[in-house]
Structure 1
Amino acid sequence: MRHAFLLLSCLGLGACTWEPGQGFAVVEPTVRAAFEPLADRTTPDGYQQLASNYQLHVDGAALRLSGIELIAFAGGSGGGFNPANPPPGYSLCHGGHCHRDDGALIPYEQIAAEMGGGGGSSTVATLPVTGPLNLLAAERFAVECVPDCALPQANVSQGRWDIESLNLEGSVRDARTPARFPGERRFRWVLSRAPSDTTPAAVLDGTVELPSDRSTPPRAKLDLSLVLTARLFDTVDWSTLTQGADGVVEISATANTTAHAALEELLATVSPQAEVTRGER
């Protein structure tokens, strides 16, 4: 309530002088997660055309997050390390490290230090997201901040989505003639962490441009979005995957380990989006 009063006072007066401990920006975060069809890939009956000439329809999609972290890196967004835009010699930054051209996995902090950014990063706020999200409903909703939505002085440049589990299921068929397999096959892909494991099943990094300082308006509306599409399945050769006794292709099954690993790698390349709208000073 106190933060809301301060925010309204600032907006009403057109200016605001922050007292110590009140934060340099008051963020109002919302989250949206979706599995969306691509218009240029949609068939007349609602399937999605894949690059492999298979066609896929997702009718179940659930995501569970442990939270979204707002992270500030030393050096800020004006030249510091940004995992969504890695420096020359690096690619595919996810899960706290980047792939170097020689194949080595290098931690974010080491890359930031190499760039002269001081090598440090800090989580200025965590956005808890409760319950599984229905990616087919794709609703946007407001979330809280821990420890506070009144941010300290920082240059927030990254949003890190910590995924506990992802479940995608539906049907797949072959558009080739002759078909590589007849009819349709049900499939399910489950990515999850072990019950006893505290490490996320996957970590997705996205760019956020959110300076929290006295030179920008204090009110900051932050709309965070994660959109998955059929592109995730472009490289899967469904004819090589093993079906279970019930006829369902369980991509997470031991027999389909290669496809499961490939999907994990493709998921890691997905970058969540962030839109920041600043209020009046």
Structure 2
Amino acid sequence: MRHSLLLVWGLALGGCAWEPGQGFAVVEPSVRVAYEPLASRAASDGYQRLSSDYQVRLDSASMRLSGIELLASASGSGSGSTFDPSRPPPGYSLCHGGHCHRDDGALVPYEQVAAEMGGGGGSSAVVTLATQGPLDLLAPETRSMACAPECALPQTQVSQGRWSVAALRLVGTVRDSRVPARFQGERAFELELPTGTTTDAPVAILTGSVDLPSDRTTPPEAKLRLDLVLTAALFDPVDWGSLVQGDNPVQFDDNASKALVERLSQLKPQAEVSRGE
């Protein structure tokens, strides 16, 4: 009798985990984005050294995400086309520096473009994650995310996360460590992207690996922690000397903004998955 009751109880628990209509995995996502000073770049007064011998200190930094798509490899062999950066596929205008310019303004990494062309069948989004409001990069917090259409995933293998950065704001000061200096003293700067545009295109697209199987062989509950770390290396490609005019604050031009966005697009977000017992 006792054995029978234990058996029924075990079946009931199993039914709770795998009820008909539930997803093969139920994801519980969170995100954290931070700007982290590096000890190897540390200078006095909270500044960080750049490869150009300029030094930057951030006083305020925030990022807003329009969404993070979890991508899974699609079945099928695809078209079999070979990706060639010198010949952008339909929907793209230019490929260089490790990414292609999509017609909607997004910067898409070579690997993703190649996958979309049919290598291995391409990839598709199974769920889109979103969080409200801007993320403070200098006081980072782990924030929960909502799922659309739902957090219950179909049977699939999530292999990638595609981040869409909707806005970025960086406020700080820059100075020159060379002697003689290319400009004197500290200069304030403020970069806000997008800059007064009405387009809905993201500022940047970032992609990172995710290993999240959604099947009957792994526990259904899956906590997904997504992390992105920015450092002073973000500012390395900026030609600060060309942006300083007299005693005025630094004004970012299109070239400087594009250089920074391209460096941002090269960052690889991290994903950590932990499964329920």
State the identity as a percent.
54
Q: For 1:134 and 1:229, locate their aligned partners in 2 and report how far apart those are by CA, in whole Å.
A: 14
Pick closer, same or farther for the CA change 1:247–1:88 going to 2, 3 Å.
same
Q: Does 1:33 align with 2:33?
A: yes
Is the 8 Å Cα contact of residues 115 and 121 (structure 2) preserved in structure 1? no
Pick closer, same or farther for the CA change 1:68–1:40 going to 2, 3 Å.
same
Q: Does 1:133 align with 2:135?
A: yes
Q: For 1:258 and 1:91, locate their aligned partners in 2 and report how far apart those are by CA, in whole Å.
A: 15
Report how far residue 98 of structure 1 moved.
3.8
Unaligned runs of 5+ in 2: 1-8, 86-95, 101-105
- After TM superposition, the structure 1 = structure 2 runs for residues 23-62 of structure 1, keeping only pairs within 5 Å, are 23-62=23-62
Helix, strand or coil for the counterpart of 1:45? helix
**C-alpha offsets along residues 222-281 of structure 1, whole Å, 9 cap, x if unaligned?**
00011111001112221111448x821121xxxx2222211121111011111111122x
Is the 8 Å Cα contact of residues 65 and 129 (structure 1) preserved in structure 2? yes
Pick closer, same or farther for the CA change 1:234–1:185 going to 2, 3 Å.
same
Report how far residue 196 of structure 1 moved.
3.4
Match of 1:214 among 212, 216, 224: 216
Q: Does 1:92 align with 2:127?
A: no
Pick closer, same or farther for the CA change 1:44–1:57 going to 2, 3 Å.
same
AA partner of residue 49 (structure 1): R
AA partner of residue 92 (structure 1): G
Q: For 2:186 and 2:138, locate their aligned partners in 1 and report how far apart those are by CA, in whole Å.
A: 21
Pick closer, same or farther for the CA change 1:206–1:213 going to 2, 3 Å.
same
Q: Does 1:118 align with 2:121?
A: yes
Report how far residue 157 of structure 1 moved.
0.9
**C-alpha offsets along residues 191-233 of structure 1, whole Å, 9 cap, x if unaligned?**
2176532221211111111010111121111000111110011
Q: For 2:198 and 2:178, locate their aligned partners in 1 and report how far apart those are by CA, in whole Å.
A: 44
Q: For 1:196 and 1:151, locate their aligned partners in 2 and report how far apart those are by CA, in whole Å.
A: 34
Partner residue, 1:270: 267
Partner residue, 1:247: 248
Instruction: Compare 24-33 and 140-149 and name the one that shifted more.
Output: 140-149
AA partner of residue 230 (structure 1): A
**C-alpha offsets along residues 106-153 of structure 1, whole Å, 9 cap, x if unaligned?**
46410xx1x3x123x222111111111111111112122111111111
Pick closer, same or farther for the CA change 1:96–1:44 going to 2, 3 Å.
closer
AA partner of residue 260 (structure 2): L
Pick closer, same or farther for the CA change 1:218–1:44 going to 2, 3 Å.
same
Count of residue correspondences: 248
Helix, strand or coil for the counterpart of 2:133? coil
Report how far residue 88 of structure 1 moved.
11
Pick closer, same or farther for the CA change 1:45–1:279 going to 2, 3 Å.
same
Helix, strand or coil for the counterpart of 2:62? strand
AA partner of residue 264 (structure 2): L
Partner residue, 1:170: 172
Pick closer, same or farther for the CA change 1:91–1:277 going to 2, 3 Å.
farther
Partner residue, 1:5: none
Q: For 1:234 and 1:72, locate their aligned partners in 2 and report how far apart those are by CA, in whole Å.
A: 34
Is the 8 Å Cα contact of residues 107 and 265 (structure 2) preserved in structure 1? no
Runs of 4+ in 1 over 3 A off after TM superposition: 12-17, 87-91, 93-100, 105-108, 193-196
Is the 8 Å Cα contact of residues 66 and 130 (structure 2) preserved in structure 1? yes
Using structure 2 for the length normalisation, give the TM-score: 0.80
Pick closer, same or farther for the CA change 1:125–1:182 going to 2, 3 Å.
same
Pick closer, same or farther for the CA change 1:236–1:133 going to 2, 3 Å.
same
Q: For 2:19 and 2:206, locate their aligned partners in 1 and report how far apart those are by CA, in whole Å.
A: 35
Pick closer, same or farther for the CA change 1:138–1:17 going to 2, 3 Å.
closer
Report how far residue 175 of structure 1 moved.
0.8
Report how far residue 92 of structure 1 moved.
2.6
